[in-house]
Amino acid sequence: MLRIGVVGCGAIGREHINRITNRLAGGKVVAVSDLYVEGAHQVGDPLGATVYSNSADLVNDPDVDAIICTTPAFAHKETVIQALEAGKPIFCEKPLTTTAEDSLELAEIEMELGKKLIQVGFMRRFDESYTQVKDLLDSGEFGAPLYLRCSHWFPEVDDGFTTEMAVYDAAIHEIDVIHWLLNERYESAQVMFPRQTGKKNPELKDPQIMHIRCKSGVIATIEVFLNCQFGYDISCQIVCENGVIDLPKPPRPLLRRSGGQTIPLDENWKNHWMRAYDLEIQQWIDAVRAGELTGPNAWDGVIANVTADALLRAQQNEGQIEPIAVGPRPDFYK
């Protein structure tokens, strides 16, 4: 039984604690920490977990085998370094850090240690819709991918949602999953703003069309639409030499009523990815227990930061092609 310490007892932290406790095998939450220590007690006491007010103490608790970090992004780096120094595996929610430099620094420390300890929380890789697509691509049956188009549509966002957040809170998932699907390296990014919806905060750019060009020439287009009104809707269509693959939608009943045949759409992202989160954490527990992490690693965290930063520059310079300057994947991370 893997003894897990959870740093950060907010919404996502509580969800992971809940799934480890009630739905997954092989793990047990033995410690929790939060700066807001009362929140940590609310979560940890019913489990009999040790409660800490800071991550360092939790990480260094000898009863903690592995750490899950769900703090706000700016605080990830510190906790990850603590885990690396303690030689303990850490699952860190995305993004790994808030800058490419910081993520690269973590990757370098980890490489120096010579052991993969970091997994980054890109849950789509564990979603069974994506893994089916990945298997098909890897089978070679469809030939080389040529271009693809993803849409990432939310029914609506809060007023505080900014143009930049369309990169770090939405497209970041496509950024990770696309290079993983294609076994590709990115070369450059470009953003177009089409006609804007009236159903949004005036400062926000919405929708946005982002193009990422890969080293092989593949163009990946990501449509982010934050206030589409009708539901949470994720699409991915990959055009290959021998055929086209469309990511499946979640299974929902076909309903005949009121003049039409309707398949409902999810209302929000949480239900959509619930199962992928379960599979992600189960896989991490299994991998830690087996002694070798295989999920998205620190280098994937670096790629995400560098690519996201290029998209942020591309947002500032509509139409300009911004290089995505990330070196080849080190052997350590292959």
| 47 lines the binding site for a second copy (CB under 8 A) | no
Distances (CA, A) of 141 to 94, 134, 136, 145: 32, 12, 7, 11
Q: Is 97 exposed, middle or buried (0-12, 13-18, 19+ CB in 10 A)?
A: buried
Q: Among 5, 13, 95, 145, indicate the residue that binds a second copy (CB under 8 A).
A: 145
254 contacts 263 by C-beta, under 8 angstroms:
yes
Residues 6+ away with beta carbon under 8 Å from 13: 6, 7, 32, 34, 43, 68, 70
Q: Among 249, 312, 313, 333, indicate the residue that binds a second copy (CB under 8 A).
A: 249
Q: In angstroms, give the least distance from the CB of 70 to a second copy.
A: 19
| 334 lines the binding site for a second copy (CB under 8 A) | no
| 230 lines the binding site for a second copy (CB under 8 A) | yes
User: Which residue reads 């303690």 in tokens?
Assistant: 86
| 199 lines the binding site for a second copy (CB under 8 A) | yes
145 closest CA partner among 247, 248, 241, 246: 241
- As a whole number of angstroms, the distance between CA 28 and CA 21 comes to 6
| 138 lines the binding site for a second copy (CB under 8 A) | no
154 closest CA partner among 250, 272, 249, 12: 272
| 248 lines the binding site for a second copy (CB under 8 A) | yes
| 323 lines the binding site for a second copy (CB under 8 A) | no
Q: Which amino acid is at 237?
A: Q
Site string for a second copy, 3-42 (x = CB under 8 A): -----------------xxxxxxx----------------
- As a whole number of angstroms, the distance between CA 149 and CA 221 comes to 5
| CB-nearer residue toward a second copy: 58 or 214 | 214
93 closest CA partner among 117, 115, 68, 58: 68
15 closest CA partner among 271, 233, 334, 206: 271
- As a whole number of angstroms, the distance between CA 313 and CA 323 comes to 10
Q: Among 12, 86, 136, 165, indicate the residue that binds a second copy (CB under 8 A).
A: 136
Site for a second copy in 68-87 (CB under 8 A): none
| CB-nearer residue toward a second copy: 57 or 286 | 286
| 256 lines the binding site for a second copy (CB under 8 A) | yes
| 231 lines the binding site for a second copy (CB under 8 A) | yes
Site for a second copy in 147-166 (CB under 8 A): 147, 149
| 197 lines the binding site for a second copy (CB under 8 A) | yes
| 106 lines the binding site for a second copy (CB under 8 A) | no
Q: Among 85, 108, 132, 138, indicate the residue that binds a second copy (CB under 8 A).
A: 132
Q: Among 46, 63, 229, 292, indicate the residue that binds a second copy (CB under 8 A).
A: 229
DSSP 331: G
| CB-nearer residue toward a second copy: 69 or 285 | 285
User: At 92, phi and psi to the nearest 5?
Assistant: -115, 125
Q: Among 48, 62, 254, 328, indicate the residue that binds a second copy (CB under 8 A).
A: 254
Q: Among 211, 272, 307, 314, indicate the residue that binds a second copy (CB under 8 A).
A: 211
| CB-nearer residue toward a second copy: 85 or 318 | 318
3-class SS at 233?
A: strand
Q: Among 91, 126, 142, 154, indicate the residue that binds a second copy (CB under 8 A).
A: 142
| CB-nearer residue toward a second copy: 73 or 265 | 265
Residues 6+ away with beta carbon under 8 Å from 78: 55
